[in-house]
Amino acid sequence: QSALTQPASVSGSPGQSITISCTGTSSDVGAYNYVSWYQHHPGKAPKLMIYEVTNRPSGVSNRFSGSKSGNTASLTISGLQAEDEADYYCSSFTTSTTWVFGGGSKLTVL
Amino acid sequence: QVQLQQSGPGLVKPSQTLSVTCAISGDSVSSNSAAWNWIRQSPSRGLEWLGRTYYRSKWFHEYALSVKSRMAINPDTSNNQFSLQLYSVTPEDTAVYYCAREISAGWDYWGQGTLVTVSS
């Protein structure tokens, strides 16, 4: 199972909005609404930010939102804050009943 | 509140077996709504899903193709924990290993991570 494709890096200024894309295939992202997004700060466990494409867990800021079109899912962060600087990973369930991650995107808040 | 507590050696020799255990509190390894996963993270490969176990009237085990031939996940209902065994390790298996609870198609609780280095 090949990894999902994410941009290696994204950046934005405080207060701006950014979008991170996650491109897969009809065997993963396009097959189910089982795409999730994780925020990962070095040295800490990843944190679930979005599940089932659009759902936010309790306690996650509504500045984070998810969407999907075809084989591409997206994470949008609005009103960028310095604390949002981290690595972001998407993940999708696959038709092989396995999970696959994206390669990760490093978000820099300028 | 769910907590996952990992334990295991931090150094394993090449060709030997890597073993990490994840003790669960606040939920059950036999839950009919959760799955129990192993995920690793390395600088070169980012996050990599390894496999999961779950109970739905019987036990299911699913593994990533990349490790399927040399990996096992074992649930331990007596101690409410599950373990990872990765056989015949090489330096490429050096990573931080995480256990995580999967529910509603997302990993909502994670262990603290175990850095495992494969080196002679």
pLDDT tens digit string along B64-77? 999 999 999 999 99
Say whether A38 and B63 touch across the interface (CB within 8 A): no
Concatenate the DSSP letters of all residues of A38-87 into one string: EEE-TTS--EEEEBTTTBPPTTS-TTEEEEEETTEEEEEE-S--GGG-EE
Beta strands in chain B (DSSP E): 3-7, 11-12, 18-25, 35-42, 46-55, 59-63, 71-76, 81-86, 95-103, 106-110, 114-118
Q: Which residue of A has its CA nearest to B105?
A: A34
Q: How confident is the model at residue A8 (pLDDT cuts 50, 70, 90)?
A: very high
d(CA A73, CA B40): 23
The answer, for A45 touching chain B at a CB cutoff of 8 Å, is yes
| Paired residues of B71 in beta bridges | B86
* Residues of chain B found within 8 Å of residue A24, distances taken between Cβ atoms: none
Average pLDDT, chain B: 96
Q: What is the pLDDT of residue B44?
A: 86
Average pLDDT, chain A: 96
Q: What is the pLDDT of residue B45?
A: 86
**Considering CB atoms only, which of A34, A87, A101 is closest to B49?**
A101
> Does position A1 have pLDDT exceeding 70, yes or no?
no
Q: Choose the mutation target among A99, A101, A105, A106 for the interface with B, i.e. most B CBs under 10 Å.
A: A99
CA distances (Å), origin A80, targets A63, A76, B33? 8, 10, 35
Q: What is the pLDDT of residue A106?
A: 97
pLDDT tens digit string along A46-92? 999 999 999 999 999 999 999 999 999 999 999 999 999 999 999 99
